[in-house]
Amino acid sequence: MYYADEIIEEIRYSNDIVEVVSEYVSLEKKGRYYFGLCPFHKEKTPSFSVTPSLQIFNCFGCSKGGNVIQFIMNIENLDFVEAVKLLAEKANIILPETGAGISEDELVKKKNLIGINKEAARFYYNYLTAGKGKEALEYLSARKIMKRTIKKFGLGLSPLSSGLLLKHLNDKGYEDRLIVESGLAISGNNGIYERFRGRIMFPIFDIRGNVIGFGGRVVDKSKPKYMNSPETMTYNKRKNLYGLNYAKNSGNKNIIVVEGYMDVISLHQSGIINSVASLGTALTESQGRILKKYFDRIIICYDSDAAGKNAAMRGLDLLNDIGCNVKVLEIPNGKDPDDFIRNNGADRFNNLIEKSSSLAEYKIRELKKNYNIETTDGRVAFVNKMAAVLAELDNKIEMEMYLKKLAGDYGVSEESIYAEIIKLKGKAAFSPAFLKKKTDVRIKTGTFDKDEKEIIHDELLLIAALCLDNNVYGLIKDDLAADDFTKDNRVVLKRIFERLNKNERVVAAEVLSSMSEVSSCALAGIIDKECNFDDGRKPLDIVTKLKKHKLMARKKEIFEILKNRESLGEGDVEKFTRELNVIVMQMKNSEIKTRKEGFNEAKR
């Protein structure tokens, strides 16, 4: 079950945390807090507090904390979705299966819009199959689309002139106003007219098989070649995937994502029903999350032209960011999947699937095209870029595997890529076994853990500061990017930065919804215990501290590397020493700056 963020947010703020908690705990107001005996651990004096202004709870005793949804999860022992459902019921918010929190009136309207779309799909299908569209049928048969496929996907044809569909829908009892709202008609100066005329119609289904919109393709050479329904109450192109209503039942753990309707239809007709099309060019995060729910691996198969490649690249990063296992399938000779299957058959397409590349392989292959690795300059630039791609990999073993393989594939030294990755990510990017082999440097995990804990704490402190005062973002945005943060916080901060960039408000209780239990408890605790920023200086201190953490960690790494200078080349020793000097200088500068600022403040 999947709910849109906005609905979760609506449910959260429709349930006042004091009211909800009061049903379980007897609370007493003290200043800006409410206190009570913690329901999550045994205690005699209250250490459990609720802050109504922030809509969060926190326990000093057992460190449980979070927003109202997390309170319900803990106290009722429910998972996130079930807790959301319970709170929706409490607030009388209708939570239909689609996940759109809408009123009863809107629900009726939505049913009508789906009804209109269904009637229209029938009308278009009958118009095509009754032999009204010779050209359209010729086009489909030229593309080897069979009758049963036309039926399965409900393909149809819209009449060349406006009027017939409108009359049909009016006869079925649908008013013009609603037909315009469905996107099938447009209201103009001389009344309303049909949007789709003389086009092959592809009904777009939601995951349960309701018709929610249409794509229309011209039969001749006129433009635009494709036209889609506008966004309506039923049709959101960012949240739907063409063919998913069938693909989700394929029983296959791989899903192939292609660009167009015809690609999906072709694949399904060839028996490859684990395929869908994104309804715009690039995949959205919502689509990625939906796919992740049903499939283990996502195989992107876009057209080989530049637009297709760019779209694929964007889709890959996005899917990778939300934790999907992604592969790329490239079709030889710049063909699209539909062309390829028509000419080569499904078996050869299946062979391509077997040979699809991983994200890193694909990216590096694309990068390689920009560099001439026969020259020294070209090779150095390429190695740097390759290292950046590898450094992105979260899985150390995978990274080491690629490092070996790619060094071999492109004839560059393993050591040079390795040195670059260390520069970008630090030594922690590699597994201990690999490091031992490379430099024989032992890692002191104990001290690292302690540092990491402190870093994570300071990062959460910054998140807290941002949530409590959105203006803090202005103070830090030039100095820190989401990528500077540790893994879990990076995801959270990315979302916060995105929102703040769009001038949208961010509040703590909402941010908590998107965090793991450990992080949300920690954040709620920090907000309660450590956040009394009155003078606006504290957030800046945190930024300085976070930057210092980064430099310190890197300094330590270089020390370790240089301890073993015998195993390094002459050039490497010089390079690391130079970097070390730069870091020491940067740290000194920031100290001077901080001291100066302190001095100025004392003078004031």
Query: According to the 3-state scheme, what is the secondary structure of 211-246?
Result: EEEEEEEECCCCCCCEEECCCCCCCCCCCCEECHHH
Cβ at position 77, least distance to Zn ion in Å: 16
Total interface residues for Zn ion by CB under 5 A: 6
Q: How far is the CB of 489 from Zn ion (least distance, A)?
A: 24
Containing 592, the helix (H) or strand (E) segment is helix 570-603
- Listed ranges 58-66, 234-242, 247-255, 590-598: which one lies at the site for Zn ion (CB under 5 A): 58-66
Closest approach of Zn ion to the CB of residue 30, in Å: 17
What H or E segment, with its residue span, contains residue 29? strand 28-30
Please provide the distance, in angstroms rounded to a whole number, between the alpha carbons at the two ends of the chain: 57
Find residue 48's DSSP bridge partners: 36, 59
Single residue of 59, 184, 185, 257 touching Zn ion by CB under 5 A: 59
For the bound state, the minimum distance from the C-beta of residue 588 to Zn ion, rounded and expressed in Å, comes to: 44
Binding mask 24-43 for Zn ion (x = CB under 5 A): --------------x-xx--
Query: Cβ of residue 72: shortest distance to Zn ion, in angstroms?
Result: 16
Query: Cβ of residue 62: shortest distance to Zn ion, in angstroms?
Result: 3
The piece of 53-61, 139-147, 175-183, 243-251 that touches Zn ion (CB under 5 A) is 53-61
Mapping DSSP onto H, E and C, the string for 32-68 reads CEEEECCCCCCCCCCCEEEECCCCEEEECCCCCEECH
Question: Distance (Å, rounded) from C-alpha 18 to C-alpha 12?
Answer: 12
Task: Decide whether 43 or 469 has the Cβ nearer to Zn ion.
Answer: 43
Give the residue from 514, 530, 581 showing the smallest Cα distance to 554: 581
**CB nearer to Zn ion: pick between 61 and 198:** 61
CB nearer Zn ion, residue 41 or residue 437 = 41
Q: How wide is the angle at C-alpha 554 spanned by C-alphas 552 and 559, nearest 5°?
A: 95
Nearer residue to Zn ion within complex by CB, 63 or 281: 63
CB 527, min distance to Zn ion, A: 16
Nearest approach, Cβ of residue 591 and Zn ion (Å)? 40
Rounded Cα distance between 414 and 439, Å, is 13
Q: Which is nearer to Zn ion, 7 or 38 (CB)?
A: 38
Residue pair 280/239 in contact by the 8 Å Cβ criterion: no
45 vs 503, beta carbon nearer Zn ion: 45
Give 41 or 537: the residue with its C-beta nearer to Zn ion.
41
Q: Which is nearer to Zn ion, 200 or 524 (CB)?
A: 524
Least gap, CB of 580 to Zn ion (angstroms): 46
Question: Which DSSP letter does residue 91 get?
Answer: T
If residue 325 lies in a helix (H) or strand (E), which one and from where to where?
strand 325-328
Sign of CA dihedral 564, 569, 570, 574: negative
Question: Which residue in 264, 263, 229, 258 sits closest to 245, CA to CA?
Answer: 264
Q: Taking CB under 5 A as the criterion, which residues in 62-91 touch Zn ion?
A: 62
Query: Which C-beta is closer to Zn ion: that of 54 or that of 59?
Result: 59
State both tokens at 557.
Answer: 């790494």
Stretch that binds Zn ion, among 56-64, 86-94, 462-470, 530-538 (CB under 5 A): 56-64
Binding to Zn ion by residue 61, rule CB under 5 A?
yes
| Span near Zn ion by CB under 5 A; candidates 59-67, 77-85, 210-218, 271-279 | 59-67
- Least distance between Zn ion and beta carbon 39 (Å): 8
3-class secondary-structure state, position 331: coil
Stretches 51-59, 431-439, 531-539, 586-594: which one binds Zn ion (CB under 5 A)?
51-59
Choice between 60 and 80, CB closer to Zn ion? 60
Spatial CA neighbour of 467 closest among 519, 527, 417, 536: 527
Cβ proximity to Zn ion: between 36 and 154 the closer is 36
The CB-of-64 to Zn ion minimum distance in angstroms stands at: 5
Where do we find the tokens 């965090």? 515
Stretch in the footprint of Zn ion (CB under 5 A) among 61-69, 345-353, 475-483, 484-492? 61-69
Considering only residues 161 to 200 of the shown chain, the ones binding Zn ion according to CB under 5 A are none
What's the length of the chain? 604
Cβ contacts of 420 within 8 Å, gap of 6 or more = 383, 384, 386, 387, 388, 391
Q: β-strands 185-188, 28-30: how paired?
A: unpaired
Residues contributing to the site for Zn ion (CB under 5 A): 38, 40-41, 59, 61-62
